[in-house]
Amino acid sequence: MSTTQSERLRGLLEPLVSAKDLDLEEIEVSRAGRRRMLRIIVDSDEGVELDACAELSRAISDKLDETDAMGDEEYVLEVSSPGADRPLTEHRHYVRATGRLVKLLSNEGGELVARIIGVDDEGLDLEVPGVKGRKPTARRVEFGEIAKARVEIEFNRKDKKEEEA
């Protein structure tokens, strides 16, 4: 997708997304056979429910029908939340991942798997799990040291509601 089209779509759709108290994370236009696929990724601090995606999809579809932002070609519109293993690229992504296990790749190529305990403007406070019965250790990582970061999916971790019960 051209930068101009991306900027135009972002300018057109961001107010609709913001009106629903959501963040517009990504806009992607790709080909799916003869049709184009317009994928809109949205998120919020509380996550995104299916009903919110459906409601936003209708609003976006109406707005796109009013304009020529997608041209005359057919397209398929998909509005969804980011996947559980999406990359962490913005400060708000790290804040939303507080309490979660993440895999960090440093600029030097080192890898670290740890739980985010806290986030501030400069970096992350982490808890590195202990190995072979050892206690977890605290570690600080500055944002400037991080080349890539991604949430690790945990199948056996209790969620906050279970821990409070």
Q: Which two tokens stand for residue 107?
A: 């600029």
Give the residue carrying structure tokens 């806290």.
Answer: 118
Q: Which alpha helices (DSSP H) does 47-99 contain, by range?
A: 50-66, 91-96
Using one digit for the tens of pLDDT, what is the confidence trace for 35-77? 889 999 999 988 889 999 999 999 999 999 898 888 888 889 9
**Spatial separation of the C-alpha atoms in residues 68 and 82, rounded to whole Å:** 27
pLDDT confidence of 1, banded at 50, 70, 90?
very low
Q: List strand residue ranges (DSSP E) for 20-97, in order.
A: 23-32, 35-43, 75-80
DSSP-assigned letter for residue 144: G
3-state secondary structure (DSSP) of residue 111: strand
